[in-house]
Amino acid sequence: MMDIKQIQKILPHRYPFLLIDRIVEFEPGVRVVAIKNVTFNEPQFTGHWPGDPVMPGVLIVEAMAQSAGVLLLAEADTKGKNALFAGIDNLKFRRRVVPGDQLRFEGRIEKRKRDIGKAHVVATVDGELVAEGDLMFALVPRDEPAADDTQ
């Protein structure tokens, strides 16, 4: 439904911090399903941990937030805005994520009032629960990227 180039038109993140690869399902303002292919050559695995690489939980949460961010920022009234991650409730981790896994993030907008939003996001690998939580966002005006921002 959305490839990486389309995602980059919505999110300001770039490598190595753009943590979703594609959107496979999308209902504007309602629901999103995003995919992250976890590969051994990602920078976090050089130190987390050598010989036993595990994706850091904070990066899983960031990918969850980026998935929900696509959902929020694809709405017409958010043009020219960024979604800042403002908080998280009820976060639970259930399983390790390692190179070779494909993370699937399913996000739903729970609430939105003007420039404040809340989404529930569930992360899975092969149908197994990895993490879930309620993520809060604040929509703020987007600064224009530098002229040499070509990535």
- For domain 4-141, give the fold: Thiol Ester Dehydrase; Chain A (3.10.129)
Provide the CA 41 distance to its chain's centre, in angstroms: 19
Question: What ranges do the domains of the chain cover?
Answer: 4-141
H-only helix segments in the chain: 4-10, 57-73
The fraction of the chain above a pLDDT of 70, given in percent, is: 95
Active-site residue numbers? Answer: 48
* Residue partners of 50: CB distance under 8 A and separation at least 6: none
pLDDT band, very low/low/confident/very high, at 27 (cuts 50, 70, 90): very high
pLDDT for the residue numbered 147: 47
pLDDT in tens, 76-102: 899 999 999 999 999 999 999 999 999
H or E stretch covering 35:
strand 31-37
Residue 51 has pLDDT above 60, yes or no: yes
